[in-house]
């Protein structure tokens, strides 16, 4: 089965900035919170303490990004400008951003003002356990995670994907978060219910039209850049979620 990248965000985990001399701004936050149960599409989910132990033991190359954007890279473990560790609360990150970088200055000021107060992470799940009732999923416990990147975000939400992809799809009427939640359930071996099957069928139809002719699917003229954005978003959702649903 193809790997399925997921993201999770938290609005109630602490995040702060500190000036550290030598032109460094520290951005400190939590990309994940342990044992905090939250709702996904049709089930609850929580991350077990120790879920990152394996991936962090291998000294992975983790990136610290703002809003999951590669264009907003703030730090990186490989370059020694970022540390990631587990503690009792969850996955703690410390980014030592360049104080001379306008992007880092902008993010730090937004955090200090309270405009940005959440963090998020992108990851692959290696091991999970489910509790169910009458054949329906109740709670997903994530037990082992391969971390890809983490950092501050403007609009925390769970589950999500890149903010650009999600916004583009939601502008077209596609229920992005619902589809991602259904993909998680389907990959775990649970059957979809009638209403969920209908949602998947409508989404597939919409995506096929978006991939082929975004302007026609949207129903009004688009600039070449906007048409490309919608088309890429449609392909991204197909690759990340609908492949799992079709399996």
Half-sphere exposure for 66 (CA within 13 Å, toward CB): 20
- Convert the pLDDT of each residue in 193-223 to its tens digit: 777 777 777 777 777 777 778 777 777 787 7
Of the two residues 32 and 172, the one the predictor is more confident about is 32
Strands of the 90-98 sheet, one edge to the other? 15-19, 24-33, 90-98, 82-86
Give residue limits of the domains in the chain: 6-160, 166-246
- Convert the pLDDT of each residue in 43-98 to its tens digit: 899 999 999 999 899 889 999 999 888 899 999 999 999 999 999 999 999 999 99
CB 86, CB 114: distance < 8 Å: no
Task: For 197, list phi and psi in degrees, rounded to 5.
Answer: -60, -40
- Please tell me the predicted confidence (pLDDT) of residue 161: 38
- Convert the pLDDT of each residue in 11-25 to its tens digit: 878 899 998 878 999
In this prediction, what percent of the chain has a pLDDT beyond 70?
Answer: 82
Per the prediction, the chain carries an average pLDDT of: 83
Other C-beta atoms closer than 10 Å to the C-beta of 46 total 15
Residue 183 has pLDDT above 90, yes or no: no
């Amino acid at each position: 089965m193809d790997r399925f990248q997921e993201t999770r965000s938290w609005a109630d985990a602490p995040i702060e900035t500190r000036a550290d001399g030598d032109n460094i701004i520290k951005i400190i936050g939590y990309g994940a919170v342990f044992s905090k149960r939250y709702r996904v599409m049709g089930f609850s989910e929580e991350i077990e303490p120790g879920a990152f132990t394996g991936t962090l033991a291998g000294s992975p190359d983790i990136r610290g990004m703002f809003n999951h954007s590669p264009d907003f890279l703030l730090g990186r473990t490989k370059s020694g400008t970022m540390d990631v560790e587990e503690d009792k609360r969850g996955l703690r990150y410390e980014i030592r951003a360049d104080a001379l970088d306008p992007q880092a200055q902008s993010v730090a000021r937004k955090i200090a003002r309270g405009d940005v107060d959440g963090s998020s992470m992108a990851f692959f799940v290696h091991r999970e356990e489910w509790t169910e009732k009458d054949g329906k999923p109740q709670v997903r416990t994530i037990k082992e995670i391969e971390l890809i990147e983490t950092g501050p975000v403007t609009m925390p939400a769970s589950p999500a994907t890149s903010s650009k992809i999600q916004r583009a799809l939601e502008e077209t009427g596609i229920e992005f978060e619902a589809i991602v939640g259904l993909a998680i359930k389907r990959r775990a071996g649970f059957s979809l219910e009638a209403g969920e099957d209908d949602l998947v069928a409508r989404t597939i139809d919409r995506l096929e039209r978006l991939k082929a002719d975004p302007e026609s699917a949207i129903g009004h003229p688009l600039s070449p850049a906007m048409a490309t954005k919608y088309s890429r978003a449609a392909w991204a959702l197909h690759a990340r979620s609908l492949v799992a649903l079709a399996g």
